[in-house]
Chains A and B, each alone.
Chain A
Amino acid sequence: MNQKERNEDLERAIDAYSSMLYKICFVILKNEQDTMDVLQETYLAYMTKRPYFHSEEHKKAWLIKVSQNKCREFLRFHKKHASIPLEEVEESIGITNGFGIEDREKLNLIWNLNVKLKSVVILYYVEGYSVKEVAKLLNISEVAVKKRLQRAREILNKLGREYDGGIIYE
């Protein structure tokens, strides 16, 4: 791959997967700029380390895995400051634009789940990975994934009950 092809490959990878990675990392890190730092580190690793991918799915999974690792590193270092409350992020980047009060409150419940549960929830429910795939991406057992999903469902069921339709539909 020459320089031009590599730049095009990088551009395609950003175009294809940055939205997904942004969503996953943002929900975990609860902070727009920290999320961008993690994406920067993830794509820089993609560009400089040049892993071999045997399929597009493999590439996607690699990017998710690296970004999850970067999130972990980030959380280790950034316990030094408090994260931005959802209300402030709402104002700055409008993640609840068009939402009613109930939807805002529902998002806040997910926002405040602990990181372990959120990672599993977003990979399984939003990105559509199977339990087995989530286990591989997060380096944990399938049993652990199921336990976390179950725990998240219990919490969201309980807390979301007072809202119309809940968060987890019964």
Chain B
Amino acid sequence: MNRNDFDQDLFSNIEISDNAKRNLYTNCKRGKRAGDLRFRYATALTALIGGLAFGCTGIGTFAYYQSVQTRLANMSSEEVTAYAEDLSNDHGVTIDESYSRKLTNEETLKVAELEKKYYAENEFPAEDVKRVASLSDWDGKSVCYVEEDHKLHLPDEMTDDQLLAFIDYNVKKDYVLAQENETDNDTASPYVDIDAENVSQDQLEDLARAAIKYLLNEDVPQGFEANFKAFKPSAADPAVGTAHDFYTVEFSETNDSSYRTYYYACFNMDDLSLRCAGVDGREFWAKLESFTDEEAEAIFQANKANILAEIKDLYGYSNPDEEWHEVYHSYDDYGDAREIHYDILFGDIEVEVMWEVGNKKIYSVGFYNINDIGGFHDEIEE
């Protein structure tokens, strides 16, 4: 096999843009995870693997959560091996490549509902997903992993218990993957136990609720429970400095659904000053009005003065030194603009705003000292 016999020019245009490099640099220095930037990257793995980093409100909820953890940790070695094998054979990018068919809309909604029961009430399936060697061994009525084509085969209609088996299969597979990756990475987590820090969860929750209400002029809805994270890379390596250390309080109906709407507020660890606050999530995004890029840009330009006035009114910042913005899309919807990502520099403080085009409203805001996190959209040297 000679690597010179491959037409490498086919990859020549796949290049990261300078702007993307700059964003990567700035966001890393802010300690932002992909899930903090957009809602695409589910946080379920973090929740599963880093249970201690998450607080759970209420002893009952914690017990149910622990029960899921125990269920996962108690998988037999044969079961773990089987899931690891499935993972190594799991090469599909889209749902079509991994399951015999897509879930219907009704099934998707049912899965979302049952997922909540799985985590919050420990409603587990009576039976596991079946495994057979070849497709001819499948009865067509059960949820079944077929080793021949490495796909999960779904019957035309699924009972609640079969949907729970489908959920359970995926949760276990994700758990095994997370375990494998943790072992591979073999480095310390930047998340720490919040109980070890000099602040109570009640205090953080009160601060977060107040910050969200102040920004959005609305309360966190009933039924949304608080979860807490303490991101502290300086614990593992003091040389990192404390500028990246912060608490996150997130309110959602369930931790584990990647479709959930969530309200959040982050506070710097050193003085509990507000780092960011807002609302996000796929469900939230889905409710926003869609515009073309040109329409969104025009509406933004017509309202820019109002946004700046609102920032001054809410947080006291005025007379910007520099500013930058982009029309913001969801992950696979080019031309489907719903928000404007607007960064404004006031002296040493960079204010980052997500402004919703349809309602003409600021839905999230962040504050960063450029002396700590670097310059305003720093140039990456080529």
- Partner-B contacts on A (CB < 8 A): 1-3, 6-7, 10-11, 14-15, 18-19, 22-23, 26-31, 33-34, 36-41, 43-51, 65-66, 69, 72-84, 88, 91-99, 103, 106-107, 110, 114-117, 121-122, 124-126, 128, 139-140, 146, 149-150, 153, 165-170
Contact = CB atoms under 8 A, between A and B. Distances in A.
A14 B25 contact: yes
Contacts of A139: 184
Chain A facing B: main interface SS: helix
A147 B331 CA distance: 34
A124 B208 CA distance: 49
A65 B184 contact: yes
Interface in B92-138: 92-99
What 9 A-B pairs come out closest when comparing CB atoms?
A49-B187, A37-B34, A22-B16, A48-B233, A48-B190, A125-B6, A114-B91, A169-B5, A115-B91
B41 interface: yes
B16 A43 contact: no
A31 B332 contact: yes
B321 interface: no
A65 B185 CA distance: 8
Nearest to B96: A82
A103 B332 CA distance: 25
Interface stretch (B218-226, B236-244, B310-318): B236-244
B372 to A, nearest CB: 8
24 contacts: A10-B25, A10-B28, A14-B24, A36-B34, A39-B24, A40-B28, A40-B33, A43-B24, A47-B233, A49-B233, A50-B240, A72-B181, A76-B90, A76-B174, A77-B41, A81-B331, A82-B94, A83-B93, A83-B332, A99-B13, A114-B92, A126-B6, A150-B1, A169-B6
Interface of B: 1, 3, 5-11, 13-17, 20-21, 23-25, 27-29, 31-34, 37-38, 40-42, 44-45, 87-99, 170, 173-174, 177-178, 180-181, 184-185, 187-190, 233, 236-237, 239-241, 243-244, 258, 329, 331-332, 334, 372, 374, 378, 380-382
B332 A81 contact: yes
Given A14-B21, A14-B25, A40-B37, A106 B331 contact: no
A115 B92 contact: yes
Contacts of A80: 95, 258
A51 B187 contact: yes
Contacts of A140: 88
Contacts of B184: 65-66, 69, 139
Contacts of B236: 48-50
Contacts of A76: 87, 90, 170, 173-174, 177
Given A48-B240, A168-B6, A7 B16 contact: no
A126 B33 contact: no
Given A3-B241, A38-B34, A149 B42 contact: no
A128 B33 CA distance: 30
B258 A48 contact: no
Contact of A95 (B3, B13, B185, B331): B13
Contacts of A45: 185, 187
A18 B21 contact: yes
A150 to B, nearest CB: 8
A84 B332 CA distance: 7
B98 to A, nearest CB: 5
Nearest to A95: B13
A44 B29 CA distance: 8
A122 B11 contact: yes
A96 B91 contact: no
Contacts of B87: 72, 76
Contacts of A49: 185, 187-190, 233, 236
Given A40-B37, A79-B94, A106-B7, 11 more contacts: A6-B240, A14-B21, A37-B40, A41-B33, A48-B190, A72-B181, A73-B177, A79-B99, A83-B94, A124-B3, A140-B88
B29 A7 contact: yes
Nearest to B243: A3
Contacts of B41: 37, 41, 74, 77
Contacts of A93: 17
Contacts of A75: 90, 92-93
Contacts of A14: 21, 24-25, 28, 380
Most B-side CB within 10 Å, residue of A33, A38, A95, A114: A33
Contacts of B233: 47-49
Contacts of A48: 31, 190, 233, 236, 240, 244
A97 to B, nearest CB: 6
Contacts of A44: 27-28, 31-33
Contacts of B29: 7, 10, 47
B185 A69 contact: yes
Contacts of A15: 21, 380-382
A79 B22 CA distance: 29
B95 to A, nearest CB: 4
Nearest to A84: B332
